Amino acid sequence: MPDINPNPHEYGYVFIPINRITALFASENDLREAVKELFSAGFAPENLDIFVGEQGADALDLTGQGHGTVTRRVRNFEALMVQVAGDSHQRADEALRAGGAAVAVLLDGKETMKNQVGSILKRHRATVIRYWGRWTIESLD
């Protein structure tokens, strides 16, 4: 089973989920079905992090609120300079706080599956599907 509401900041605040595809779900049922299909495609539970509801939003801390003034300022600067990142983070925080769910799929060594993962997530009504590369953020929806 994938980790649910893990602490992505265990070793320091994580600004960008590098080499991952993230997506939002309004329904946990849609998320469960997407996870089953990702397992069938060869992704292991340790390649998936799932965030659900308020606890998921608090764990992600996408605003940097729980990590101090410097982190908050860097997040605000990022939102101004890289609008797709700021918009994605804001929409994720709002969706989770409204009872939605999010998934982060680690692609390590499976970058050729990026479009397949995006298609799987779309099939299960995911929104705000993003691939977070080292130097780029790509919209897959």
Burial of residue 49 (CB within 10 Å: 0-12, 13-18, 19+) is buried
> For the segment 4-17, what is each residue's pLDDT rounded down to a tens digit?
998 887 877 667 78
Alpha helices in the chain (DSSP H): 28-40, 53-60, 69-81, 83-97, 114-123
CA separation, residue 28 to residues 2, 95, 138 (Å): 14, 12, 24
pTM: 0.87
> For the segment 104-118, what is each residue's pLDDT rounded down to a tens digit?
999 988 889 999 999
To the nearest whole number, what is the mean pLDDT of the chain? 87
Residue 43 has pLDDT above 90, yes or no: yes
The domain spans of the chain are: 3-139
Q: For the chain, give the number of residues.
A: 141
**Per the structure block, which two tokens stand in for 79?**
């939102």
Q: d(Cα 43, Cα 136) in Å, to the nearest integer? A: 23
Residue 63 has pLDDT above 80, yes or no: no
H or E element, residue 12 = none
Comparing C-alpha atoms, which of 54, 138, 131 is closest to residue 93?
54
What does the pLDDT read at residue 127? 96
Residue 72 has pLDDT above 60, yes or no: no
